[in-house]
Structure 1
Amino acid sequence: MIPSYKFVLAAARQLDGVAHRTPVMHGRTLDKLCGAYVLLKCENFQRTGSFKFRGAYYALASLPETDRARGVLTYSSGNHAQALALAGQLLGVAVTVVMPTTAPAVKQAAAASYGAEIIHYDPAQTSREALGHQIAQARGLTLIPPYDHPHVVAGQGTVAKEFLEEVGSLDVLLVPCGGGGLLAGSALSVRALAPQCRLIGVEPERADDATRSFQTGRLHQVHNPDTIADGARTPSLGQITFPIIRRYVDDMVTVSEEAILQSMYFLWERLKLVVEPTGALALAALWEGKVAVANQRVGVIISGGNVELRQALSWFAQGPPCSQR
């Protein structure tokens, strides 16, 4: 089932008073660097530290009581795991999460602290989708995937809905892309509320499956890509997210690991925003000049802030100077 903007409106009603209405930030230094008026929608301040809470809660709240009673399962590198675990805690639903052994420890610990049962796997050896389906079937659990689900997509669409309601018109909106839940949801909202706005998805060069899929019209895959943006290590777009992105998104661009790290560093140092690598993807497209934005109103979605602090400091210490573009 492909969701429409009506799904986003229903999600917004369900999330009212549950999800945070996250702040929009603006910095003149960033404007000067980019030659545009840049606004940041900061989902790093969302519950569980990322936009994922929106879709996870709406999907879980939409389940029939009989399915909730049996419990649910998901597979996730971390942010969806935390989000579904907290949603389960709030709604009284048992949550099992299949997580890679390589997932950041901070994300694993948070999911466990919200009460999730965690099952680890080696991403180099095992497909999380296959393992997740196997366990869900064996235990009689309802599977709530991290992005390819109509209610998940609708919940994520409330990010762009709030953004546009707060700031008014935008010429361009840049959105991080992994499996495409946030980008697809944003597309539903943008086409309903600001059809003139250019919507652009951003992913790492090392995990460019969505860009290749968008350009060719054929679904491409990657296997465990080597990128610091762990939230974008998804194997491909989904059967729900792909057609929405192909129909409503204007373009896809990719960014280097260096640009991701430099954008992340800038957000920490100059705007005082703790952002994870995946959360800095959209800004990295501006940083590398991948999108023409001169003298335009540009929206950037900062998707999350769940990062291993010691790892981040290690990256910053090893990387090139980042104070100037």
Structure 2
Amino acid sequence: ALAYAAQAFQIPCVVVIREDAQLTKLQAIRRYGAEIVLVPLAEWQQRLELEQQRRNLHLVHPFDDPAVAAGQGTVGLEILDAIPDLRTLIVPVGGGGLIAGIAVAIKAQRPNLRIIGVEPEGAPVVSESLAAGHPVAPSRLDSIADGLGAPYTRAFNLSLIERFVDQMRTVSDDAIIEALKAVAQQAKLVVEPAGAAAVAALLADAEIERPVAAVLSGGNVDMDRLGSWLTR
């Protein structure tokens, strides 16, 4: 998305991204004309800051940025326009920027609407940070949902999640794959594992109050991997 916006405004864009990112994401970023810097996840924040300073660029953080969260909050407003009687919204969670923005926007209009955040069991950074009462590094970081594999969260997002999100849940990689298959077979949509996490939580709980919506937060999936998951 950032590469697309930069191309539209004809400004240079450098994306610092984890070296195990899915090929389709890298191809899309390059297609929009951005430069890619691949780094190990453990070195991501350090390299991000280094590239920003060395090149004198403006930093657009993927989740630790009030402006980014505010922009993502418009997703919530669009959902309310589309489903006025919505009772529950399920949102995938990585670093927490998406759900923080959505939750603030929705609760301002519908304070009784229930918002559930979903993380992979292998990347529970927000759940563990909420339990600790402050941002902590996740105990695990090994999920197929690489789009939700944030190595940390920040106090800005955490405070909004604590205030406006009703519940956090985790789902297994197996559940995510089953949800990915269900979305492909029933909704005829192609999503990456991160995009299927919210549906995994929905499929696991028949008691979630309806009408319910699940945010599908990404469709960058390698076709070879998708084929292997769909035939499991």
Specify the TM-score bucket, using the shorter chain as the normaliser: over 0.9
Unaligned runs of 5+ in 2: none
Q: How far has the Cα of 1:223 moved from its partner?
A: 7.3
Q: Contact 2:95–2:125 (CA<8 Å) still a contact in 1? A: no
The letter of the residue matching 2:40 is D
Q: How far has the Cα of 1:224 moved from its partner?
A: 7.3
Q: Contact 2:87–2:212 (CA<8 Å) still a contact in 1? A: yes
Matched residue, 1:309: 223
Report the TM-score, using the length of structure 2 for normalisation: 0.95
Matched residue, 1:166: 82
Aligned CA-pair RMSD: 1.5
Matched residue, 1:15: none
Matched residue, 1:88: 6
Matched residue, 1:115: 33
Separation in 2 of the partners of 1:174 and 1:139? 38
From 196, 203, 208, the equivalent of 1:293 is 208
Unaligned runs of 5+ in 1: 1-82, 320-325
Separation in 2 of the partners of 1:97 and 1:288? 35
Q: Contact 2:128–2:138 (CA<8 Å) still a contact in 1? A: no
Q: Contact 1:223–1:235 (CA<8 Å) still a contact in 2? A: no
Q: Contact 2:122–2:140 (CA<8 Å) still a contact in 1? A: no
The letter of the residue matching 2:212 is V
From 38, 46, 53, the equivalent of 1:137 is 53
Separation in 2 of the partners of 1:114 and 1:223? 35
Q: How far has the Cα of 1:214 moved from its partner?
A: 2.2
The letter of the residue matching 2:75 is V
From 18, 26, 36, the equivalent of 1:100 is 18
Q: Give CA-to-partner distance per residue, 1:254-273, whole Å, 9 cap, x none.
A: 00111100000011012111
Please state if 1:179 is matched with 2:95. yes
Larger-gyration structure (1/2): 1
The letter of the residue matching 2:220 is N
Please state if 1:276 is matched with 2:192. yes
Report the TM-score, using the length of structure 1 for normalisation: 0.69
Separation in 2 of the partners of 1:185 and 1:100? 24
Q: How far has the Cα of 1:229 moved from its partner?
A: 0.5
Q: Contact 1:173–1:300 (CA<8 Å) still a contact in 2? A: yes
Q: Contact 2:91–2:116 (CA<8 Å) still a contact in 1? A: yes
1:1-325 superposed matches below 5 A: 83-123=1-41, 126-222=42-138, 225-289=141-205, 292-293=207-208, 296-317=210-231, 319=232
Q: Secondary structure in 1 aligned to 2:187?
A: coil
Q: Secondary structure in 1 aligned to 2:38?
A: strand
Query: Identity over aligned residues, as a percent?
Result: 39
Q: Contact 1:279–1:305 (CA<8 Å) still a contact in 2? A: yes
Separation in 1 of the partners of 2:3 and 2:138? 27
Separation in 1 of the partners of 2:84 and 2:55? 47
Q: Secondary structure in 1 aligned to 2:21?
A: coil
Structure 1's 282 and 192: CA in aligned 2 closer, same or farther, altered over 3 A? same
The letter of the residue matching 1:301 is V
Q: Contact 1:214–1:252 (CA<8 Å) still a contact in 2? A: no
Q: How far has the Cα of 1:150 moved from its partner?
A: 1.0
Separation in 2 of the partners of 1:168 and 1:215? 33
Which 10-residue stretch deviates more, 196-205 or 207-216?
207-216
- Structure with the greater relative contact order (CA < 8 A, sep ≥ 6): 1 or 2? 1
Q: Contact 2:126–2:153 (CA<8 Å) still a contact in 1? A: yes
Which 10-residue stretch deviates more, 222-231 or 185-194?
222-231
Q: Contact 1:202–1:282 (CA<8 Å) still a contact in 2? A: yes
